[in-house]
Structure 1
Amino acid sequence: MPTLAALLLATPVLAADYQPREAFAPREMGQAVNLYRSGNGAPGPDYWQNRADYRIKATLDPETPSLSGEEVIAYTNNSPDALSELWLQLDQNAYRPDSRGTYAAGKPDKGSSDGYVLDDVSVERDGKTTPVSVLVSDTRGRIPLGTPLAPKGGQVKIHIRYHFTIPGEEWGGRMGWGKAKDGPIYSLAQWYPRMQVYDDIRGWDTLPFLAQEFYLEYGDFDYEITVPSAMIVAGSGELKNPDEVLTRDQRARLDKARASDATVTVIGPDEIGKAATRPKADGTLTWHFAMKHTRDVALSISRAFAWDAARINLPDHKSALAMSFYPAESQGTDRWGRSTEYLKDSVERFSARWYPYPWPVAVNVAGPDNISGMEYPGLLFDGISDAGKDLFWITAHEIGHTWFPMIVGFDERRDAWMDEGFNTFIDVYQSDDFNKGEYAPKRDSEYAPGGGNPADEILAVLKDPNAPIILSRADTILEKYRHPVTYFKSAFGLVLLREQILGPERFDAAFREFIAAWAFKHPKPADFFRFMDSAAGEDLSWWWRGWYDHNWSLDLAVDKVVPGDAANGTVITVAARDKLVMPATLRVDFTDGSHRDYRLPAESFIRQAATTVTTEAGKTVAQVRLDPDDKLPDEDRSNNAWKAGAK
């Protein structure tokens, strides 16, 4: 005879909010399939992108402080279009009091400099150099061309002389300077005018720099920075003239580090500022760096740096060098003394799991705390006060940006959820893996930054009527929601896709293929969605719609349990009571002590709001539990269980 609990569950609650034809409707990608971008999400047979190679010579004046430079940008137009103008990114202009960024932040007149001062700009073509006048509009600059630049390989060189005042401690943001005990640290990014991207989706993509990050062309960089001789320079790429800027001891220590898995001291904290650490006592030194196939380079400069290094072991018996630069007050085994260890381990694991690290060095810099937590190719700006698990997490996260968006060239200004969310996703597994989980778990939730169950923590985001959807323009997302949505929801969506929807085998293979296919290229959201559908062998329209297009919630419920007799199994009805659906595990415990897991695919709800499972005959059901390990973001777990005899 059915128990009271079975009778109470005999009449299902109608799933009024769930509509199968809404959840599983065809989903348009909003981006055409053509010879540039294929239907399988990979670059098409005629995919193209333009190229920008840079030669830069700059000088730091720490007294002002300011930077002046001369650069030559060799720009190649690989597009099928003739270009009648070129566009520059002038991101230093964000520090002007009247910049769009200060108004977007609600803080007009906060700016602290005049931005870029373009002293001279000219265009060289076919051996002839012509002065041009740049039309500056906020953080963009338009260069008119008298004769359009030819398609499919047309080349031009842009010569620019410029200078700017380095924003001070009161500003913060992506770059600037601040004080350490033994002298100021200059963290220099966006320190030269850069080319805007011209692509097959929008032509010139000229969003202003409001606070989001970057979208840049790839190329080779050769750059020099002249600084007072007492200063040490940490730069993106390989140092080309160590004989000129390092002592014999320092060069020997670096050679030792290249063969060492243990951290090797190059300049010890007790050596900071001593004359013996520099090859000459006064005047200036010019540091020369080069970096191939990158979209950007950055610098950090100070007389206050200690420096250590260790070998990074890469796939196919290759190697690179992990290095850390930090002031004396950051030393210690619970602080920056382990930075190189964290950096080395993260690069090695990301390389083995996803895609090999492409550059000869990876650098972590302890700089001013108000401009920390920022990534550039091969170089990270982290904070003087970072320590312990926070230093590990920020190191792993910032070097993780090598893969997204430095290798896979996402447009951070429009789609920050891809850059930050994908990187936070790979962080999850690095935190679990490092030193047997020393700093695990890490989920990057505003609600549980040190761990907790992300399936619980995401519920507040899903139920917040003001929370933006993932596919929002990045600049429109309030700071309140930036981490919960752009980082956490995006990352957790990939965790769910990997662990609950596709499984690690299908997901990992598809994700690695996506990275390899789009390495040093510019994928868009539609390319990712198409690629995962195709490579994983799954139409995921229902998932992209519910998690990315909308902020839908999940509520699966054990709706009815009708125990059977010895010849017939127990019939269990599971219903979807809210708009989102997901595959789910239904665990049935029997009175003989055994149990069975039934895997309900998302298609269980493709025609109706409820599905049934009939257990094997001859066994008596003791209890039933949906999602027994609490992995799904189910908004109401109180309706996930049924127990025989319960009242």
Structure 2
Amino acid sequence: MPGLIARAGILAALWASLAGASDPAYTPRETFAPLDLGQPASGVRTASGVPGPRYWQNRADYAIHATLDPAAKTITGSVQISYANNSPDALDVLWLQLEQNIYRADSRGALSQGQRKGRGGGTTDGMTIDSAEVQIAGKAFPVAPLISDTRAQLALPTPIAPGGKAIVTLHYHYTVPGLFGGRTAWGKSRDGEIYDLAQWYPRMAVYDDIRGWDPLPYLAQEFYLDYGNFDYWVTVPSDMLVAGSGALMNPAEVLTKTQLARFARARTSDATVAIRAPSEIADPTTRPKQGGMLTWHFRMENTRDVAWSASSVFAWDAARINLPGGKTSMAMSFYPAESQGKERWGRSTEYMKDAVERMSAKWFPYPWPAAINIAGPATGMEYPGIVFDGIDDAGKTLFWISAHEIGHSWFPMIVGFDERRHAWMDEGFNTFIDVYESDEFNRGEYAPKRDSEYAQGGGNPVDEILPVLADPQAPPILSRADTVTEKYRHPVTYFKSALGLVLLREQILGTQRFDHAFRRFIAAWAFKHPKPADFFRAMESDSGEDLSYWWRGWYYNNWQLDLAVTKIAPAAADDPAKGALVTVESRDRLVMPATLRVGFADGSTHDIRLPAETWIRQGSVTIGVDGPGKVVKAVIDPDHRLPDRDRSNNEATAP
């Protein structure tokens, strides 16, 4: 998006005075009223927006064993969860997430969409818990899960004391949904099936300092999960390649000698290296075993989730990712033969490498051993270290979706937002950083990227947001995520949220202050659980600004901006060259800093930067301007940087 307007112009004098009654739509005491963030500062979450000395969060470490049966389309597995209660509370129940139950015909997610079929129009029986056991203080007890839609409650025979631990062991199975699965599914490519496996094991719900247990039902919004280490073993037919979150721990058991050598070369290569080329997909010698099953072992540390994909028709390539401080990771892509080619998935690894390197350098270093892009049925979905995109994606579409999905590594995978309640933080923050990635990749090859149904053609985003701001039915950004209908999901949750950050960076704070505060926020909350109030406080504290007018107008409400230049009058009636009085008004509830460009009779101009506080006491102000001659014209927002609903009143000429 456009850069910050330069704070330029030479002023001999600047003053403001009341210039009459403002439009009733603008009331300064409303726009600049004190803002209650609804979350008192404490030793857990501080007034400066960072975790305090008493901050805590619970932890869940997982060991998972699962087997994929492609004939039956089932996953059968067991999971052992080591759960640490770091809270100050004794816990007498545990809550699990069973997201596969959204595909049941009677799920809340289906009925919330007015359906009597599972999400996407198909159904399964959901996830069946075959057995459950909890071990506390060395004693193991069988428990009977109380299942409620996509959640299961485990009543404990004895509470988990503060600082205590429990080991939960579960055996389970479920049917993998077809294309109706959306975020997790199996589907057919030209030559065979691809399985994208996510939400594939029972997952601990979050117990936090704000709500205690927070197991919102899964209605198709995304996830809120605690962090831990994951070891997982997936058993699949031997002709399949498996891509999984984290590091492959047993490559010698599941790869051929040729693939091991190529994999080692890719670790040190900035150019993409084929591990299995598209021309080799049908070659049986590219698998170390003919017939039977193979078990792939992956490990990922300090993550909130893992996912994986498996297929017999995958090509696979990889390259090194260069990270700050001399560290490295690996970019990888898995795709069927029909997706190959330099205009298609042949550049996927290049896209992943560039996005991770730039976002790491700009915001926070990528922490995991691989960043993997999958061409499969579950398109446009992200998990830690692995993303699912479309078999048919190509060109700018593939670049945009790849950069966006891997950008979710930062939000909400590193900064652990609650996507169930605050989807605008995960989608909007990520859209914000991937806009800059699109501007910068290969000298703007795919720029500009605009995440709006109105702006994909590259229009000015401050104009493209205007229909949303003018729509009385459009929900505020801070609406509960599940209440935002599909009509408004992208315009508000993605586009408006991202544009709010761009405007905050480029028009309100400036890049230096914003970037310092934003990086501090990311670093402070990496692998933790910030809330909206924490973000608002962090940006204010570090930038030195009271931004309540911006939070209130852009986030809490769907207010509009209308700045106008209404009058130019000489400062001295006997000599127009002695300066002028320029009257500027705010005619609607949203205000922003703005540039006033004054034009003189000799053709020169001066820019005056008006802070938001220009309108803190009144809606109409008169600005005194001195200059090299008569003032003949004045324009507010001359470079078209603000979402002004009526630009016809932005300019005035002297009589």
TM-score, length-scaled by structure 2? 0.95
The residue aligned with 1:604 is 614
Question: Equivalent residue of 1:446, what SS?
Answer: coil
Q: Aligned letter for 1:90?
A: L
CA separation in 2, counterparts of 1:389 and 1:168?
28
Counting only pairs closer than 5 Å after superposition, residues 158-557 of structure 1 correspond to structure 2 as 158-169=168-179, 171-368=180-377, 371-557=378-564
What displacement does 1:616 show? 1.1
Query: What RMSD in Å do the two structures reach over aligned CA positions?
Result: 1.1
CA separation in 2, counterparts of 1:107 and 1:566?
71
CA separation in 2, counterparts of 1:72 and 1:291?
15
Q: Aligned letter for 1:16?
A: P
CA separation in 2, counterparts of 1:273 and 1:81?
56
Q: Aligned letter for 1:164?
A: Y
CA separation in 1, counterparts of 2:605 and 2:374?
53
What whole-Å deviation, never above 9, does each CA across 1:570-608 have from its counterpart, x for those lacking one?
110100011111100001122223211000000000000
CA separation in 1, counterparts of 2:56 and 2:282?
49
1:127 aligns with 2:138: yes
CA separation in 2, counterparts of 1:158 and 1:178?
33
What displacement does 1:32 show? 1.5
What whole-Å deviation, never above 9, does each CA across 1:391-449 have from its counterpart, x for those lacking one?
00000000000000000000000000000000000011101000011111112011112
What whole-Å deviation, never above 9, does each CA across 1:541-566 have from its counterpart, x for those lacking one?
00000001110000000011113425
Out of 614, 639, 648, the position equivalent to 1:629 is 639
The residue aligned with 2:27 is 19
CA separation in 2, counterparts of 1:464 and 1:537?
33
- Given that residues 13 and 559 in structure 1 are in contact (C-alpha distance below 8 angstroms), is that contact kept between their aligned partners in structure 2? no
Could you list the runs of 5+ residues in structure 2 that have no partner in the other structure?
Answer: 1-18
Question: Equivalent residue of 1:461, what SS?
Answer: helix
Question: Equivalent residue of 2:264, what SS?
Answer: helix
CA separation in 1, counterparts of 2:636 and 2:111?
49
1:117 aligns with 2:121: no
The residue aligned with 1:4 is none
- Given that residues 145 and 153 in structure 2 are in contact (C-alpha distance below 8 angstroms), is that contact kept between their aligned partners in structure 1? yes
Higher relative contact order (CA 8 A, sep 6+): 2
Q: Aligned letter for 1:266?
A: I
The residue aligned with 1:73 is 81
What displacement does 1:388 show? 0.4
1:48 aligns with 2:56: yes
Moved more, 99-108 or 190-199: 99-108
What whole-Å deviation, never above 9, does each CA across 1:33-68 have from its counterpart, x for those lacking one?
111110111101100000000000110000010000
What displacement does 1:127 show? 2.8
Question: Equivalent residue of 2:578, what SS?
Answer: coil
Could you list the runs of 5+ residues in structure 1 that have no partner in the other structure?
Answer: 1-10
Aligned residue pair count: 631
What displacement does 1:273 show? 2.4
Question: Equivalent residue of 2:24, what SS?
Answer: coil
CA separation in 2, counterparts of 1:37 and 1:104?
34
CA separation in 2, counterparts of 1:336 and 1:591?
57
CA separation in 1, counterparts of 2:577 and 2:366?
60
- Given that residues 12 and 559 in structure 1 are in contact (C-alpha distance below 8 angstroms), is that contact kept between their aligned partners in structure 2? no
The residue aligned with 1:98 is 106
Q: Aligned letter for 2:475?
A: P
Question: Equivalent residue of 2:181, what SS?
Answer: coil
What displacement does 1:251 show? 0.8
CA separation in 1, counterparts of 2:407 and 2:29?
39
Moved over 6 A (4+): none
- Given that residues 56 and 87 in structure 2 are in contact (C-alpha distance below 8 angstroms), is that contact kept between their aligned partners in structure 1? yes
- Given that residues 178 and 186 in structure 1 are in contact (C-alpha distance below 8 angstroms), is that contact kept between their aligned partners in structure 2? yes
Out of 588, 592, 602, the position equivalent to 1:592 is 602
CA separation in 2, counterparts of 1:442 and 1:78?
42
- Given that residues 577 and 630 in structure 2 are in contact (C-alpha distance below 8 angstroms), is that contact kept between their aligned partners in structure 1? no
CA separation in 2, counterparts of 1:622 and 1:283?
84
Q: Aligned letter for 2:559?
A: W
Q: Aligned letter for 1:611?
A: V
Counting only pairs closer than 5 Å after superposition, residues 133-152 of structure 1 correspond to structure 2 as 133-151=144-162
What displacement does 1:13 show? 8.2
Moved more, 227-236 or 447-456: 447-456
What whole-Å deviation, never above 9, does each CA across 1:304-336 have from its counterpart, x for those lacking one?
100000010000011100000000000010000
What displacement does 1:643 show? 3.0
Q: Aligned letter for 1:632?
A: L
CA separation in 1, counterparts of 2:72 and 2:454?
42
Question: Equivalent residue of 1:185, what SS?
Answer: strand
TM-score, length-scaled by structure 1? 0.96
- Given that residues 431 and 437 in structure 1 are in contact (C-alpha distance below 8 angstroms), is that contact kept between their aligned partners in structure 2? yes
The residue aligned with 2:15 is none
The residue aligned with 2:68 is 60
CA separation in 2, counterparts of 1:254 and 1:223?
21
The residue aligned with 1:578 is 588
What displacement does 1:486 show? 0.3
The residue aligned with 2:9 is none
What displacement does 1:144 show? 0.6
Q: Aligned letter for 1:589?
A: G
Question: Equivalent residue of 1:434, what SS?
Answer: helix
Moved more, 619-628 or 185-194: 619-628
- Given that residues 381 and 405 in structure 2 are in contact (C-alpha distance below 8 angstroms), is that contact kept between their aligned partners in structure 1? yes
What displacement does 1:612 show? 1.8
Q: Aligned letter for 1:403?
A: W
- Given that residues 22 and 620 in structure 2 are in contact (C-alpha distance below 8 angstroms), is that contact kept between their aligned partners in structure 1? no
Question: Equivalent residue of 1:349, what SS?
Answer: helix
What displacement does 1:109 show? 2.4
